[in-house]
Amino acid sequence: MTTSIEVENVSKKFSMQYQRTLKQVAVAKLRGQRIKDSFWALQDVSFQVQQGEAIGLMGLNGSGKSTLLKHIMGVMRPTSGTVRTRGRISGLIATGAGFHPQMTGTENIYMNAAILGMTKEETDAKFDDIAGFADVGEFLDTPVGNYSSGMFARLGFSVAVNVDCDVFIADEVLAVGDQPFKKKCMKRMEQIRDSGVTLFYVSHAAQSVRRMCTRVIVLEKGVVGFDGDVDEGIHYLHYDDSEDVDAEEEQTTDGELGSEV
């Protein structure tokens, strides 16, 4: 087995700034008020992932999931610790990130593909697949500034799944998509997983994590609270509780998605 990702004692410190302008900072200083605080978004996070594992990264909002994925994608550096990855990484962390509002869908496809490491020739060859998967119709030639969040997700996801990669990251990107698109994406991610690509899947929908993943990592306030079996991880989070407030939504989401669950 080959190691795909190695995260070793990673910690990340962020600062929170309470004032936005220099004037506000000056006034706050004169009044003896606090200017900024810092906090640890990730604390001593360590784990290893073998090539081909499918990780369900779970945890409450603000627990550090996206921050951790940004470190794996290489767009953020840890305050301390190391992250090592093997091969090309594709995926989506925030829908709409990396898109330029004044450029058209087509132009943004080229730009995003380039950011994910594709050459123009590669993108040319895959353009029809990408546009077909996004399925935004004639909106492809209009500025993406007018797109809905669902349309952003379609475009971003379509580029990401068409990049030949070794690691694929999907961070809550399907939450805004409509049912047919979600279904299509889940199917595509299963194909990607089955071809031996390492998968990181962030979702609050327990059923889809069960369907997609072979292992669950739970983050709690920046600390790894659980790392192991999928069902145990979901149980650890109490996401398998049928009286959960999300149960109703989850049923509608996963009734279609998790047909074989």
Ligand X SMILES: Nc1ncnc2c1ncn2[C@@H]1O[C@H](COP(=O)(O)OP(=O)(O)O)[C@@H](O)[C@H]1O
Using CB under 6 A, list all residues that contact ligand X.
14, 41, 59, 61-67
Helix (H) or strand (E) holding 26: helix 22-30
Taking Cα atoms as reference points, which of 4, 3, 7, 5 lies closest to residue 219?
Answer: 7
Question: Shortest approach of Mg ion to residue 97 CB, angstroms?
Answer: 11
Choose the one of Mg ion, ligand X, none that binds residue 14, judging by a C-beta under 5 to 8 angstroms depending on kind: ligand X
- Measured from the CB atom, the residue of 61 and 102 that comes closer to ligand X is 61
Minimum distance, C-beta of residue 142 to ligand X, in the bound complex (Å): 30
> Least distance (Å) from ligand X to the CB of residue 40?
9
Amino acid at 54: A
Q: List the one residue from 4, 63, 66, 90 that touches Mg ion (CB under 5 A).
A: 66
Q: Pick one of ligand X, Mg ion, none as the site partner of residue 242 (Cβ within 5 to 8 A by kind).
A: none
Output 172 or 250, the one with its CB closest to Mg ion.
172
Name the binder of 59 from ligand X, Mg ion, none, CB < 5-8 A by kind. ligand X
Residue 132: name the closest of 101, 98, 106 by CA.
106
**At its nearest, how many Å lie between ligand X and the CB of residue 71?**
10
Nearest to 17 by CA among 30, 36, 33, 34: 36
Shortest distance, position 63 Cβ to Mg ion, whole Å: 8
The C-alpha atoms of residue 117 and residue 103 are separated, in whole angstroms, by 19
Binding mask 22-61 for Mg ion (x = CB under 5 A): ----------------------------------------
Q: Does 203 bind Mg ion (CB under 5 A)?
A: no
> What whole-number distance in Å separates Cα of residue 186 and Cα of residue 207?
12
Within 10 angstroms of residue 257's Cβ, the number of other Cβ atoms is: 23
C-alpha 172/C-alpha 170 separation (Å) is 6
Among Mg ion, ligand X, none, what binds residue 61 when CB lies within 5 to 8 Å by partner kind? ligand X
**Least Cβ distance, residue 43 to ligand X (angstroms):** 11
Sheet holding 54-58, edge to edge: 89-92, 167-171, 198-202, 54-58, 215-220, 223-228
Q: Which is nearer to ligand X, 62 or 255 (CB)?
A: 62
Give bridge partners of residue 173 from the DSSP assignment. Answer: none
Nearer of residues 62 and 74 to ligand X, judged by Cβ: 62
How far is the C-alpha of 212 from the C-alpha of 199, rounded, in Å? 9
Q: How far apart are CA 252 and CA 130, in angstroms?
A: 28
Binding range to Mg ion, per CB under 5 A, among 62-70, 100-108, 120-128, 207-215: 62-70
Phi then psi dihedrals of residue 85, to 5 deg: -130, 155
The contact set with Mg ion (CB under 5 A) reads 65-66
